[in-house]
Amino acid sequence: GMHDIYEPLDPPHRKPIPLEQAGDCIGTEAIPCDPSKIIAVVPSDVPDTTRPLAAIDDDAKAMSQHLIKFFEQEIAEGRLPKNLLPLQSGVGSVANAVISGLAQGPFTDLSIYTEVIQDGMFDLIDAGKVTV
């Protein structure tokens, strides 16, 4: 699955969430449910609705280009590996612009954490630049 269902212990017994790599999985992929408690399944053809993203504007593109240039400089100085370190993308037009910009950049074999997959992430995946 693309997600895990994980419930940490209640405080004060809570431990660190045991994720160390972008591809690590914890918990379960489904919520257990006694089938005898299910009384109906309602199929629906109603499409999900989402708020449209703002278009990638010149400011967002400039931020993306600055970040990519920063990554390139850090690689050149030996402070980052060529595939960067695991990245986490946020949500919104700037995050979308940055991720989309990475699709045009020189970086490959990227590891990425994200809570939402936006158009830029699909571009990055389609470009074959994401391993996890």
pLDDT tens for residues 6-56? 889 999 999 998 888 888 888 888 888 999 999 999 999 999 887 777 788
- Euclidean distance between CA atoms 120 and 125, whole angstroms: 9
Paired residues of 130 in beta bridges? 110
* CA neighbor of 122 nearest in space, from 108, 102, 107, 105: 102
Q: Is 0.75 topped by the overall pTM?
A: no
Active site residues: 115
Task: Give the mean pLDDT of 84-89.
Answer: 91
Say how many CA atoms lie within 13 Å of 23 toward its Cβ. 6
Say how many CA atoms lie within 13 Å of 74 toward its Cβ. 14
For the four alpha carbons of 114, 115, 120 and 121, in that order, the dihedral sign comes to: positive
Confidence (pLDDT) at 2: 61
